[in-house]
Amino acid sequence: MTKVQFPVYSISISGLVSWQLHALNNEGNEGNQSLTRRYYIIQKDIHEPEYVNGISGDMLKHIQAEHLHRVALESGLSLSEGGKQFNPDRIGYDLEKNLSVFTDKDTDLAAKTGKVIQLCTISDLEGFMVTEKKGQTLKRDSVIEFGAVVGLPSSVKTQSYFHAKYGVDNPTPYNVQVSSGLYATVLNIEAFRIGYNPHNFGYSIDVAERKKRLDALLKSVLYTYLQPNGAKRNTHLPHPDHFEGVITVSSRRCPAPMISPLEREYNSQIHSLASTLNNLNGAATIHCFDFNNMAEFADQIETLIAHSLPWESENAEAIA
Amino acid sequence: MPKRSPKSYPTPWLTVTYQPVSLFSLKRSDATSMAARSNLVPTPYAIKMALLKVLLESQGRQHQSDFTQWINSEFTWIRDLTIYIWPPEKLVVNRNGYKLRYYDQTADKADKTRPTIPMQGGFVFREWVYMQGNLQICCSAGNHLAELEELFAQINYFGKRGCFFQYLPEYQQTTPEPTFEPNPTTGFTVQPMDDLGEKTTFNRINPFSTEKAQLDKDRVIKPGFLPLQLMATSTRYDMYQRY
C-alpha cells in the first residue's frame, strides 16, 4: 500500500474533553478554602455572565512540555543541559552556567539562534527567552499554543469537600474545590516553524530531524490529554471519560481552522470553514480528522504521525 | 476639543471578520506586567504587528538579498494603515490570578557577574476577556488591497499567544468608505489605543534591533472610543455590551 503523505503547515485541535472530580488548576486560597480557577462567559441570548470552572492554557502547556521532555529523552532527540533537566530556562540555563553553546564565529542573531535550534529540541518547540547582559536578547516563540480550557456552562459543576490534614498534632481542617464536567479545549501547532530560523528565513535542521520533532510534539499532545498532569493529582486524579472533536491540518500557508466548542455547532462550522478554505486556496489545503472518543483521538494522532511531513516553502510552491 | 482637519484616506477600505476562539488578553500600555489589565480589543499596534509577522514569515525569504529596502517599503504602508475596530456584541473581562516567571531583581543585584538576567517565579494578576460575537477590523487598504487580504487570512491570533481568532473568509468586504467609524455621539467606553508612530521605522520596532523605540514617537497612545457600555461589574468580572 502506498502511503499518502502531505506537508503540514499548521495543526489545530478543537475538542470537548470530559474530566471528572479534578482540581487541575487553582487560584489561591481564602482562609482554609482552596479556590478553583473560574471564568465568566456569556452565551447567546442570555444576558447574565455564567460562572464556569476552567484551566489556564499555561497549565496545559506545562503538562505538554513535561510529556515532551520525556518523549525527547526516550527518542534521543538533541537537548541542552537545561533541557535535559527540564529546567524552565532550557537553553538559558546553559548560558547562565557558561556552558559552551556558542563559538567565536557565532556573533549574530541568525548564527546564535541556529545553534540553539540545533542543540535543543525543547527550546525549539516550546520557545525560550534569554537576556544576555553583553549581547542581544535571544528569544523564540513556542511552536505550540493552548487556549484556556473553559467549562461548558450547562455541563460543568464545582463542589467543595471537607478534608483534614493529619499529623503529629491536631488535624487541620480545610476544604478543596473539585470540579467535573465537559470542557472546551483548543490548541494550535505552527508546524512550519519547527526548526525555522526567523533571522535568515531558513531552517537550521534538516527535514528528517524536523519530522522527528513534529512526531515527538504530536505524541506529547496525545499524552497531555491521556494523562493531564495538573495540580492536586495525588488525591484528586481526574477521571477522564470522554474526548470528541476535530483535528484540522493545513498543507499550505493558511492557518488550520479552529472554532471554540463553546459554540454548539463547532464541528459543522469547522467543516464548513475547511470547505471554504479549500475553495479559496485549492483542494486538499485543509484536512479534517474527526474523533468521537479518546481511542479515536489516539488513532488520528497515529495517522498524523504516519502521514505528515513538515512543510517547507519549496514544497508549497510546488503544490500551488 | 481642538478641531481636526479633514483627512482624506485612500480607498478602498477592507473589512475582515474574526471569530474569537479562546479567551483574549493583551496588556494595556499603561499597566505593569505584575498587574496587567487587559485591552478590551486588539489595538491597531497589535494588529499591525500581527500583519508584520505573517508578512515576514511568508515573504521574507524571497527578499533576503534586498531585505532592508523591501522591509522598509512594506513597513511604511503597514505603518500608515488606518485601522478601526468593531468589538463583539458582548465582552466579559475576567480577573484571574496567574503564575509567571519574571526578572529577579534581588538575585541580579546580589551577583553582578551573571552572564544572563535571572528570573524567578511568582503570582501575578491577569485579565482574560471572553468575547461573544465576532470581531471586525476595518482598514484603509489603498493600493495594497490584495496583499492585505492575503495577510489577514494568515493571522490566527492577536496580542498574547494562545489568544486565538478564526478568520472568517465569507464575511470579508471591500467598500469605498469604512463600514464603521468611531462615533462619540453614541455612547462609548474609552480605552487607550496604541499605534505605530507616523515616522517610525522597522528598525525601531524590531525587538532584535539595537535601535530603541520611544514612547510618543515610535509607539503612540491615543484614547480610543469603543461603542461599548458597561453593563455589570463585580470583584470577579466586568461585563460590556455593544451599543
- What is the pLDDT, as a whole number, of residue B121? 87
Helix B44-59 × helix B67-79 angle, to 10°: 150
Q: Can you tell me the distance from the alpha carbon of B187 to that of A237, in angstroms, rounded to the nearest whole number?
A: 49
Return the residue of A nearest to B103 by Cα.
A131
**Among A127, A182, A150, A148, which residue's Cα sits nearest to residue A57?**
A148
- For chains A and B, CB pairs below 8 A equal 142
Q: How far apart are CA A90 and CA A83, in angstroms?
A: 5
Are the beta carbons of A43 and B132 separated by less than 8 Å?
A: yes
- Provide ipTM, 2 decimals: 0.86
A137:B208 CB<8 A: yes
Mark yes or no for CB contact A96/B115 under 8 Å. Answer: yes
Pick A174 or B5 by higher pLDDT.
A174
Do B140 and B10 touch, CB atoms closer than 8 A? yes
CB B44 within 8 A of CB B193: yes
Residue B7: predicted pLDDT: 58
CB atoms A133 and B114 under 8 Å: yes
Per-residue pLDDT band at B242 (split at 50, 70, 90): very high
Find out whether A214 and A249 touch, Cβ atoms under 8 Å: no
| pLDDT band at B17; cut points 50, 70, 90 | very high
Mean pLDDT of the region A80-90: 93
Is residue A226 within 8 A of residue A64, CB to CB? The reply is no
Residues from chain A that touch B38, judged by Cβ atoms under 8 A, are: none
Cβ-proximal residues to A167 (8 Å cutoff; 6+ apart), any chain: none
Is any Cβ of chain B less than 8 angstroms from the Cβ of A41?
yes
Share of chain B above pLDDT 70, in %: 96
Q: Taking the CA atoms of A222, A225, A226 and A229 in sequence, report the sign of the dihedral they define.
A: positive
Instruction: Please tell me the distance from the alpha carbon of residue A51 to that of residue B164, in angstroms, as a whole number.
Output: 21
Pairing of strands B119-132, A172-189: unpaired
Q: Out of B57, B116, B167, whose CB is closest to A96? A: B116
Tell me what the mean pLDDT of segment B158-163 comes to: 90
DSSP A87: -
Chain B neighbors of A9, CB-CB under 8 A: none
Spatial contact of A297 and A13, defined as CB atoms under 8 Å apart:
no
- Smallest CA–CA distance from A127 into chain B, residue: B161
Among the ranges given (A76-90, A175-189, B2-16, B192-206), the one the predictor scored with the smallest mean pLDDT: B2-16
Q: Mutation test of the interface with chain B: which of A201, A262, A271, A312, choosing the one with the most B Cβ atoms within 10 A? A: A201
Check whether B44 has a pLDDT greater than 70: yes
- A136 to B210: CB separation less than 8 angstroms, yes or no: yes
State percent of chain B over pLDDT 90.
Answer: 65
> Is A109 close to B208, i.e. CB distance below 8 A?
yes
Which positions 68-107 of A are in contact with B (Cβ < 8 Å)?
Answer: 88-89, 92, 95-96, 98
pLDDT score for A27:
85
Q: How far apart are CA B82 and CA B111, in angstroms?
A: 47
Q: Do A39 and B157 touch (CB under 8 A)?
A: no
- pLDDT above 80 for A220: yes
Of B58, B60, B117, the CB nearest to A253: B58
Count of other CB atoms within 10 angstroms of residue B159 = 22
B187 vs B198: CA distance, rounded Å: 29
| Cell numbers representing residue A107 in the block | 556573533
Is residue A118 scored above 80 in pLDDT? yes
Q: Å from A170 to nearest chain B CA? A: 31
Sorted by sequence, the CB contacts under 8 Å of residue A253 that are 6+ apart come out as A9, A192, A316, B58, B154
Look at the block and give the residue holding cell 515610535: B218
Q: How far apart are the CA of A201 and the nearest CA of chain B, in angstroms? A: 5
Q: How much is the pLDDT for A1?
A: 36
Contacting residues for A19 by C-beta, under 8 A, at least 6 apart = A179, A180, A181, A183, A228, A238, A239, A240
Grid coordinates 539595537 are at which residue?
A: B210
Instruction: Dig out the grid coordinates for A52 from the structure.
Output: 464556569
Nearest by CB to residue B61, choosing from A61, A201, A280, is A201
C-alpha cell recorded at residue A115: 545553534
Helices (DSSP H) in B80-121: which residue ranges? 105-110
Least confident segment among A159-168, A204-213, B7-16, B112-121 = B7-16
Residues of chain A with Cβ-Cβ distance to B236 below 8 Å are 38, 40, 51
Nearest-neighbour CA in chain B from A205: distance (Å): 16
Contact between residue B39 and residue B31 where contact means Cβ atoms under 8 Å apart: no
Give the mean pLDDT of chain A. 90
| B215, β-bridge pairs | B219
Question: Which band of pLDDT confidence, cut at 50, 70 and 90, is reported for residue B138?
Answer: very high
Of A11-25, A67-81, B3-17, B151-165, the one with minimum mean pLDDT is B3-17
pLDDT at B137: 97
Nearest chain B Cα to A50, which residue?
B92
Q: Is the pLDDT of residue A270 over 50?
A: yes
> Cβ–Cβ contacts within 10 Å for residue B66, how many?
10
Nearest chain A Cα distance for residue B1, angstroms:
36
Q: Confidence band (pLDDT; 50, 70, 90) for A172? A: confident
Closest by CA position to A238, among listed A16, A37, A20: A20
Return the amino acid letter for B147: E
Bond from prior residue into B12 cis (ω within 30 degrees of 0): yes
- Using an 8 Å Cβ cutoff, are A123 and A116 in contact? yes
Q: Closest to A89 (Cβ–Cβ): which among B56, B119, B208?
A: B119
Whether the per-residue pLDDT at A8 is higher than 90: the answer is yes
Task: Tell me what pLDDT residue B39 has.
Answer: 94
**Rounded Cα distance, B224 and B195, in Å:** 11
Contacts of A276 in chain B (CB under 8 A): 169-170
Tell me the CB-side half-sphere exposure of residue A42, using CA atoms within 13 A. Answer: 25
**Chain A CB contacts of B20 below 8 Å:** 260
Q: Rounded CA gap, A312 and A81, in Å? A: 29
Share of chain A above pLDDT 90, in %: 64
Q: What are phi and psi of B57, to 5 degrees?
A: -65, -40
Where does the pLDDT of residue A70 fall: very low under 50, low under 70, confident under 90, or very high at 90 and above?
very high
Predicted confidence at residue B8, as pLDDT, reads 66
Long-range Cβ contacts of A46-53 (<8 Å, 24+ apart): A47/B231, A48/B232, A49/B92, A49/B130, A49/B232, A49/B237, A49/B239, A50/A153, A51/B236, A52/A150, A52/A151, A52/A152, A52/A153, A52/A156, A53/A151, A53/A156, A53/A157, A53/A158, A53/A179, A53/A181
